[in-house]
Structure 1
Amino acid sequence: MAAKPVIVGYVGGYKGLVDMNMIHPSKLTYINYAFVNVIANRAVLTNLKTDTINLKNLAVLKKKDPSLKVLISIGGWSWSKNFSDAVLSDTSRKAFAQSAIAIVRKFNLDGIDIDWEYPGSLGAKDNIYRSEDKQNYTLLFRSLREALDTLQNETGRKMLLTAAVGGFPSFLHTTDMGKAQQYLDYVNLMTYDLDGGALTQHHTSLLDADRTIKAFAAAGVPYNKMLMGIAFYGHSYIVKKDSNRGLGDSIVTHGRGYGYSYIKDSLIGYHYYRDRHAKAAYWYNPTNNEFITADDTWSVKLKCQYVLYHKMAGVMFWEYVSDPKEYLLDEIDNIIK
């Protein structure tokens, strides 16, 4: 019998205290708490005071719904600078793994998610990266898996190890995901933020996700370990005047970001479109020339149906606070669960 698909939501504590009232654990399988920093080759709770409160409050949610699991997510876009150093040797990898385990043990959590953006390539400005990252990325997961197995034997509870990975095929050039996946319970494909360049394009289309999923499968990652990434937020751009619908037009400047609840409830003067080839939604305002690319309930439904058809492990989304009215989560919950 196939495992029930999972729903993983990222909850960000990097800005301070999290409003736990917005979280409904019955709609989730796992929460990934973002983020834990990497400092001096160790996993570190940079905002110790608020992180401590957040993690204790998440433990209360687990008591309300015992099936809910909570993981720490280490890294992210802003805190991946020091991963390369932390995994450079067997000694440093083991020390890093023990520092991460210490956080899991202290807060009675259920595992670790690694969000290294990106091994073997730059990511954010000033990130450290090396060609050796390719093999060390796999060895990092081996060290973490060994440490988690030890903790699992101590507690008698399943300890999870997951990775948030670049949602684009070139991520496979600087990693060996076929080997790395053997240590992982899930591979979270960040199939969003895929726009860029001089012309507007979709940042989270099913067409792009399909290419990435097939590439990861060809590299040796089983479908039943992959999670489809869903964006709870949009990107916006101001395009040149007299554009038709904004898609594929020249970008004048970047606009503000929008969470989906705001897009659905508060946009005025915007026309809504569906790109049925890319299976992605977008909005355009001919008055101010603003183009917005985002997931919506239609595109999320298509993504969830894709997950079920291909017997993928489930879906994950970034991030909870961007859709406080849970329009997208309810769509996911209705289809996946």
Structure 2
Amino acid sequence: MSWYAGWHGTGSTPDFTPENISWSKYTAVSYTFATTTPDVGTISLAASDEQLLPQFVELAHQNNVKAIVTIGGWTGSQYFSSAVATAANRSAFVQTALDLVSKYNLDGLDFDWEYPNKQGLGCNIISPSDSANFLSFLQALRAAPGGRNLTLSAAAGIAPFAGAGGTPMSNVSAFAAVLDYVEVMNYDVWGSWSSAVGPNAPLADACAPGADQQGSAESAVRAWTAAGFPAGQLVLGVAAYGHSFLVEHADAYAAGGAGASALAAYPPFVKGAQPMGDSWDANATAGLDQCGVYSAGGPTGIFDFWGLVEDGFLTDAGDVADGIAYRYDNCSQTPYVYKPSTQVMVSFDNAESLRAKGAYIKDTGLRGFAMWETGGDYEDILLDAISGAAGLEQKSAIVVQYGGRRRSSSLSSRLFSWMRRWMWR
């Protein structure tokens, strides 16, 4: 599966249109995002998406690829809880979802509810019954005549859905009976909200000091399978981007000071001094957010993989550029780069770390991988690395990537990726 960010294909100078998708490498592609609304009878698409989605679906079908739409996302999950809160609402929401499928000739739906019984955006409606109601909705959708043959999936955090008490459910096996797969979003584990520079998307963390064990792919898969979700229906979420931090020279190197050769592990960074990310990183203006809460704005500090090439951290081959300090953490399988001239350190993923994750997918029997975000790769370096190591051939891999670098700014994608820091772990 591939998530296609619709905002990349719209506007006067589109970043990435459906024609740019490497269709031959996917079995399914999901268009993001349709959003929930106060009216259970309406699932909203932006006017530009309503124009682009038919083109997207047509190209998918021409290439024998399933066309899916993702409902929700960080800013689109506000009314999920009320939409599934009662039997009447669930019935209406099932029909609304099926109407969306019919209108655009879709092959499936992907639900990115952030998060059942867990606050995400800050003003989402939530209820202790969210996960139970979500399951009842999915069961009704699957049982409906129009839902029996749909591909149904859900994007979720690295812990199972929250139960009535707010803690991860101990048994999610019923979800496996109605969902084709769950995408486990194993990224934004460390970021600007953390106490130190840590791995954005760690493969493992059991080998790290106790205070640095914030979650990982391995612990996530253990949690989901222990709760009854089969490994063969889990898709590992991986990142084609990294988080940047301002780290002073004295803290950046293991021995202290720029004269040392090795970068320090988990160094402190300068709080409140977020560096700009790549050329997609829009410097948001201050103002009220979607919830009516004041936001100071500023950059997210996110670097897509192509952005690390563009900004001189990496070469065109994805290797470390001259003058850049580098560290590879063998515990979490995470690379770090540091540019002394700007004191910017980035925790990200490269071909080596994604080969390690691909091998883990193969060894564990996971269904595949899901990469956020769509345009983050550079010349398919990351895609080829993970898919090759996972032993996934074209048209058999579940991946989230549409390859290639783009150089214009997209605030929506920057904010969406940055906001995932609130993901429940």
TM-score, reference length from structure 1: 0.89
Deviation at 1:221, TM superposition (A): 0.4
Alpha-carbon distance in structure 1 between the residues aligned to 2:76 and 2:248: 35
- For 2:102 and 2:6, locate their aligned partners in 1 and report how far apart those are by CA, in whole Å: 19
Amino acid at match of 2:138: F
The CA deviation at 1:132 is 1.3
Runs of 4+ in 1 over 3 A off after TM superposition: 168-172, 332-335
- Structure 1 position 206, deviation (Å): 0.8
Q: Counterpart amino acid of 2:45?
A: T
- Return the match for 1:229 from 220, 232, 237: 237
The structure richer in helix per residue is: 1
Aligned counterpart for 2:186 among listed residues 191, 196, 208: 191
Give the paired residue count.
322
Counterpart of 1:84, as a letter, is: S
Q: 2:107 aligned with 1:89, yes or no?
A: no
Q: Which secondary structure state, in structure 2, belongs to the residue aligned with residue 117 of structure 1? A: coil
User: Bigger CA drift: 313-322 or 163-172?
Assistant: 163-172
Match of 2:218, SS state, is helix
Match of 1:262 in 2: 307
How far apart, CA to CA, are the structure 2 residues paired with 1:291 and 1:77?
26
Question: Partners in 2 of 1:108 and 1:46 — Cα distance?
Answer: 15
Matched-pair contact (CA < 8 Å) for 2:61–2:67: no
- Report the counterpart of residue 3 of structure 2 in structure 1: 10
Seen in structure 2, the aligned counterparts of structure 1 residues 302 and 132 have a Cα distance that, compared at 3 Å, is same
- The match for 2:177 is 182
Q: Which has the higher strand share?
A: 1
Match of 2:219 among 206, 211, 214: 211
Any idea what the Cα deviations from partners look like across 1:208-247, whole Å, max 9, x if unmatched? 1011001100000001100011111111111344121364
Cα displacement (A) at 1:152: 5.4
Q: Give the match's secondary structure for 1:183.
A: coil
Contact 2:141–2:147 (CA under 8 A) maintained in structure 1: no
**Which amino acid is the alignment partner of residue 174 of structure 2?**
K
Q: Unaligned regions of 5+ residues in structure 2, if any?
A: 11-15, 205-215, 254-262, 276-300, 314-322, 394-425
Q: What corresponds to 2:33 in structure 1?
A: 35
Specify every segment of 5 or more residues in structure 1 that has no aligned partner in the other structure, as ranges. 1-7
Aligned with 2:150 (options 153, 159, 182): 159
**Bigger radius of gyration among the two:** 2
Change (3 A) 1:169 1:251: farther
- Relative to structure 1, is the Cα distance of residues 144 and 267 closer, same or farther in structure 2, using a 3 angstrom cutoff? farther
Name the structure 1 match of 2:267: 249
Map of 1:5 onto structure 2: none
Distance 1:47 1:82 in 2: 17
Tell me the secondary structure at the aligned position of residue 375 of structure 2: helix
1:202 alignment partner, SS class: coil
What CA distance in whole angstroms lies between the structure 1 residues aligned with 2:93 and 2:236?
A: 28
Show the counterpart of 1:130: 127
Q: Name which of structure 1's ranges 296-305 and 53-62 shifts more when overlaid on structure 2.
A: 53-62
Structure-2 residue corresponding to 1:75? 72
Shift of 1:260: 0.7
Name the residue aligned to 1:143: 140
Please give the alpha-carbon distance, in whole angstroms, between the structure 1 residues aligned to 2:311 and 2:223: 38
Scaled by the length of structure 2, the TM-score of the pair is 0.71
Question: Does the CA-based 8 Å contact 1:43-1:74 persist in structure 2?
Answer: no
Within the candidate set 95, 98, 101, 1:101 is matched to 98
Q: Aligned letter for 1:115?
A: D
Q: 1:90 to 1:152 in 2, by over 3 A?
A: closer
Distance 2:54 2:82 in 1: 30
Matches within 5 A, 1:295-334: 295-323=349-377, 325-334=379-388
User: Taking structure 1 as reference, are residues 27 and 272 closer, same or farther at Cα in structure 2, changes over 3 Å only?
Assistant: farther
